[in-house]
Amino acid sequence: MNGELKETKTSKTFPIIGMHCASCAKLIERQLLKTEGVNTATVNYGSEQAIIDYDANIATDEMLSNAVKSAGYKAIISERLASSSNHSEAVNAKSADEINKFDANALKDEEKKKELEELKLKVIVSAILSIIIFIGSFPNWFSGIFKVVSLGPIYDILSNNYYLLLLTSLVQFWAGSKFYKATWSGLRNRTASMDTLITVGTSAAYIYSLLVTVLPEVVERLGMPMTMYFDTAAVIITLILLGRYLESRAKAHTSDAIKKLMGLQAKTARVKRDGVEVDIPIEQVVAGDVIRVRPGEKIPVDGKIVEGISSVDESMITGESIPVEKRVGDVVIGSTINKHGTFLFTATKVGSDTVLAGIIKMVGSAQSSRAPIQRLADSVSSYFVPAVLMISVATFVVWFLFAGFGVGFGAMIAVLVIACPCALGLATPTAIMVGVGRAAEHGILIKNAESLEIANKVSKIVFDKTGTLTEGKPIITDVISTQTASVRYQNPFQIAASLEAGSEHPLAEAFVNKAKTEGMQLLPISNFMAITGYGIEGSVNKKKFALGSRSLLEKERISLERFEYDIDRLEREGKTVVFLTSAKKLLGIIAIQDILKTSVESTIAGLKRKGIDVWMITGDNEKTARALAEKAGIANVMAKVLPDQKAEKVNELKIQSLTTSNKHQNVVAFVGDGVNDAPALATADVGIAMSTGSDVAIETAGITLLNKNLETVLSALELSKKTLNVIRQNLVWAFGYNVILIPVAMGVLYPIWKITLSPEIAAFAMAASSISVVGNSLRLKRVRI
C-alpha cells in the first residue's frame, strides 16, 4: 500500500545519567517500555546504559529521551558524525575534538565529570556544616571545651536551635536535593527507590526537629520528647553523599577497558590526495583513500597493503606480543602500530566499521547486558524498598509501645537508612564490566554477560579440526598414480589441482599452491560442481572427473582393495586422503596434511585438568581423525561428520545422559572458525569463534578469540570462573549485609544486650556496602588469566 512504512526493527544502546540504585534502572525500563514502538528495554545500573529493541519508524530519539526524562533521569542519545553517512558535516568540523562532542560516550563522560564535581562540592560543604551541627547538638560534650578556650559566646550561637535549623536546612534541601527529586519522580510513577528511603528517614528527623524548634509547646503537650535530630539528618545525608562520591569514582574504573580501547585510535592519517600526501583528521578518511604509514606510527584505519613490506604490532587487538609480518595484499588493522618499514595501504573500513570500533561496540554491549545470575538480585530489588518502608513503620510502632518514642524513632530511621538495594544492584554488573574489559585486554571478545557466566559451567568442549586445532594451511605430502597403460592422463595431480582451483574447500589452497610451486599450468574446467559430503567434479576437454573422499568411491562403487595398504599407512600418519576418479576408475591417490597448532597440546591438557571432556569433530575418516587426535591428546573423536551434521552432533552431546559425578551440569562449548561452523556455534551452550575465521562464525559465537593461540580458550574459561566467583562474593555480601544489619537496626539485640544501631552508623554502613562491592569487582583488573 502506498505510504505504508515497513517495520524497521533495530537496537540502540545509550548512556543514562543520574541513576543511584537498581530501582532507578527498573523505573527507567518501565518508562521506556511504555514508549510506542519499543519492544524490549534493559537498563543496567552498573554500566549506566540502556539497551532497547525498537521500531525506528515509530520510536524517535526524542521520544526515548523524553521517556527517560519522565522518570527523572537524563539520556544521552547521539551518534558520532564521522560514523554516519553525513560525511560532509564531519569534514566541515573544525577538529577531531569538535567531532568527538557528538560521541555519546564522550558526552556521558563530560556529564559524569560535571556530576562528580557537583557531588564533590556538596560533600565538602555538607561535611563542614554537619560537623558544626554535630558540635552544636551536644552541649554536654563540647560547651566546656569552648569555654576553656574562651569561645563560649560562639558556642552559644552554634547550639542555638534556630541556627542549627538554618544549617540543617542547607544540607537537607541543597545537598540532599537529588534525593527529593528522585523521590518525587518515583511517586509520580508509582514506585520507590533507595532515594525514597533516604528522603523519608532524613525528612522524619528534620521535620520532628523543626517542630521541637518552632512549636515546642505542641510537642510537649503531646507528651513527645524534646529531642533534636538535626545532627542525624545532616550526618546521614553527608555520609550517603560521600559514599556515592566514592562509589562513582570507583565505578569510573570499571569502564577503563573501553576508555583504553578508545584511546588506541589514531588522531590523524597521511593520505594521498591529488597526488600529494597530506595529514588529515582521522574522521575525514574515507574508504578508498590511499594512506602512507611510516615506522613507529599507528595505522589509522583498516585496509589492505598495496605497496611496501613491514612488521606490525597487533598486541593491542590480539594480545599477541610478537609483531606480524605484512606484505602486499595483507590486511592491516586500524590502531595497530607499524614497527619498521614504510608502506601504502588502501582504506577499506573507516569510522564505526573498523575492527577496533566493532570491538569497542561489542565490549560496551557485553558490559551493559545482564547475566542470568543477576535475575535474583533484580527480583529482590523490585520488592525491597516497599518491604523496608513497611518494616520501618512496624519497627517504630513496636518500640514506641514498649520503649517509648526516642527508641522507636531512632530505630525507624536506622532501618530506612541501613537498607541498601544499591549493593544488590551493583553486585553483578560491576563484576561483568571489569571481567569483560579484562577479557578484551587479552584478545577475548565476549558478546554478552550470559556467555561469560555459562562459560564457567562448561563440562564438554568440542573442537572443529581444520583451522581450529590445525594451522589451516594444509600441504600436499603424497601423490600416488594408480593409472594403467590404457589411461592417457599421466598427471593426476594436474587434474586434481585444476578442479580444486574452483573450490571453496579449506584444502583447495594446498592444491593450488603446490601447482604454482611446481610451475604447473592449470587446465580449464567446465561443468564444475561441489557435491556436499563427497567432493567436487568437473570436466576437462569434455571428460568428467571427480575428486573426493572414500565416500565418493563407495558411491561410484570403485574398489580400493589393491591400494588399502598405502591408504592405511597415510591415514595412520594423520593425513587426509582424497581420490581422483573418472569413468568409475581410480586415477590417483593424494595425501594432504595440516599440522597442529603449537598451543594445542597444552590447551587440551589444561582443559583435562579442569575436568572438561574434550572432543574433536571432523569430516575425516576414523583412522586419520584418530591419528591427529592422538597427537593432540584428545580421546573423544567424531569422524566422518558432514558440515551440515555438526550442529546435530553438538546437540546430541547436550542431551546425552548425564553421569552421576556431573549430574548437575552438561554444558557444551564448541570452538570453530568456518562458515559451516556457524550452526554448531549457535547450537552449543557456548560458541567460541577464532577471529581468523569467517564473519558468520564470529557473529554467531558468544565468545571470539582475537588471536591464533588456542590457550586463550583456557583464559576465557578461567576468567569466567573468577568473574562468577567475584559476583557470588558480591551477592553474598549484599544479601548478608541486609539480612544481618536490618534486624540489628530494628533493635533485635536491644532486649538482651541493650545494643542499638544509631542512624549515623547505619548511614556509614550503607555507604560502605556499595563501595565494598565495587572495590571487590575491581580486583578482577589484577587477576592473572
Q: Which DSSP letter does residue 779 get?
A: G
Q: How many whole angstroms separate alpha carbon 71 and alpha carbon 32?
A: 9
Residue 366: HSE in the Cβ half-sphere, 13 Å Cα cutoff: 33
The answer to whether 349 and 302 are in contact (CB under 8 A) is yes
Residue 120: HSE in the Cβ half-sphere, 13 Å Cα cutoff: 8
Complete edge-to-edge strand list for the sheet that includes strand 38-44: 38-44, 49-55, 9-17, 74-75
* 464 tagged catalytic: yes
Q: In one letter, which amino acid is 105?
A: N
Which of 102-135 are b and which e, b meaning 16 or more Cβ less than 10 Å from the residue's Cβ? bbbbbbbbebbeebeeebeebbebbbebbebbbb
- Give the pairing type, strands 290-293 and 686-690: unpaired
Closest CA to 289 of 326, 344, 224: 344
What kind and span of H or E run contains 74?
A: strand 74-75
Q: How many whole angstroms separate alpha carbon 234 and alpha carbon 582?
A: 93
**Residues paired with 41 in a beta bridge:** 52
Which of 464, 613, 620, 685 is labelled catalytic?
Answer: 464
| DSSP letters spanning 548-566 | E-HHHHHHHT---GGGHHH
Q: Which DSSP letter does residue 459 get?
A: E
CA-CA-CA-CA torsion sign (617, 621, 627, 628): negative
The answer to whether 42 and 378 are in contact (CB under 8 A) is no
Closest CA to 48 of 521, 368, 388: 368
Three-class secondary structure of residue 420 per DSSP: coil
Q: What are phi and psi of 590, to 5 degrees?
A: -125, 130
The answer to whether 415 and 390 are in contact (CB under 8 A) is no
**Residues paired with 588 in a beta bridge:** 481, 580
Q: Which residues lie below 8 Å from residue 484, measured CB to CB, with a gap of 6+? A: none
Complete edge-to-edge strand list for the sheet that includes strand 343-349: 276-281, 268-273, 290-293, 343-349, 302-307, 331-332
Q: How many whole angstroms separate alpha carbon 190 and alpha carbon 700?
A: 41
Q: Which residues lie below 8 Å from residue 29, measured CB to CB, with a gap of 6+? A: 41, 42, 43, 50
Which of 38-70 are b and which e, b meaning 16 or more Cβ less than 10 Å from the residue's Cβ? beebbbbbbbbbbbbebbeeebeeeebeebbeb
Q: In one letter, which amino acid is 119?
A: L
Q: Which residues lie below 8 Å from residue 594, measured CB to CB, with a gap of 6+? A: 465, 466, 470, 471, 472, 473, 474, 475, 576
444 burial (CB, 10 Å; 0-12 / 13-18 / 19+) is: buried
Name the grid cell of 265: 585510535
Spell out where 594-676 has E strands.
613-617, 636-638, 667-672
Q: How many whole angstroms separate alpha carbon 665 and alpha carbon 356?
A: 36
The answer to whether 31 and 189 are in contact (CB under 8 A) is yes
Q: Which DSSP letter does residue 596 get?
A: B
Q: In one letter, which amino acid is 279?
A: D
Q: How many whole angstroms separate alpha carbon 241 and alpha carbon 233?
A: 12
Name the grid cell of 595: 599440522
The answer to whether 316 and 255 are in contact (CB under 8 A) is no
Q: Which DSSP letter does residue 51 get?
A: E
**Which of the residues are catalytic?**
464
